Amino acid sequence: MDTLLAELRSEAERYAAPSSEREVAIVRAAERLFAERGFAATRTADIAQAAGVTERTLFKYFPDKDALLRRVLYPALLAAAGEPLEAPSFAEWFAGFLRARLEGASADPNALRLVLVELMTSASTRQRFAALWKRQLWAGAVRAVARFQAAGELRRDIDAESLARAAMSLALGYLLTRVLVAPALAWDDEREIARLLDVLQRGAAPAR
């Protein structure tokens, strides 16, 4: 296991088992404020106030703001670039990929917003995420698409990377719109997933 993945998983495990209710409150407040304001514009005093604790209490759990950012960002990065699902068909693979991310983002939209903010504002985060995405998700997605091409489910005159990009672009576009841009609309996720699949399969089907 590489160092980056080990570091991310370690933080994710810590996040899953906080030591107290105060720590939970601090982490949740930090995640929300970092997502809303960005890392640089958020003070530890603001996080402490939002969590209902003193700044001294915050520093008992986290020595500095950088440590707190790692605590809330790393699990979010790991979730966003999770390993691709194994599936017997392209339809099940695509639907599973999108459903898993919808479930996580709907449960914690601040985590998705935080990832987007950090990717836009932090070069180091972009570098880390790009490396993780390439190893964890992208390579597996391309292999999956190539497998479905070999099975005759997808057209072969377009390379696997291009088809994988098209599938992920549609999935992530829907995810962002559904969770961040217009969450109040009356979404029917299963119907939308079926429509996205229809567009993909009609455009990516083997020539007859």
Q: Helix and strand tally (H, E) in the chain? A: 11, 0
Q: What pLDDT, in 10s, does the model give residues 95-146? A: 998 998 898 888 888 888 888 888 888 888 888 888 888 887 888 899 999 9
What residue spans define the domains of the chain? 3-75, 82-204
pLDDT at residue number 1: 46
Tokens for 44, please give them: 């530890």
Tokens for 12, please give them: 């994710």
- Tell me which residue of 91, 89, 206 sits closest to 157, measured CA to CA: 206
Name the burial class of residue 84, with classes exposed (0-12), middle (13-18) and buried (19+) by CB atoms within 10 angstroms of its CB. buried
Q: Any idea which architecture 3-75 has in CATH? A: Orthogonal Bundle (1.10)
Name the CATH topology of 82-204.
Answer: Tetracycline Repressor; domain 2 (1.10.357)
The one-character DSSP state at 161 is: H
**pTM (2 decimals)?**
0.79
Q: What pLDDT, in 10s, does the model give residues 46-56? A: 999 999 999 99
> Taking 90 as the threshold, does the pLDDT of residue 83 lie above it?
no
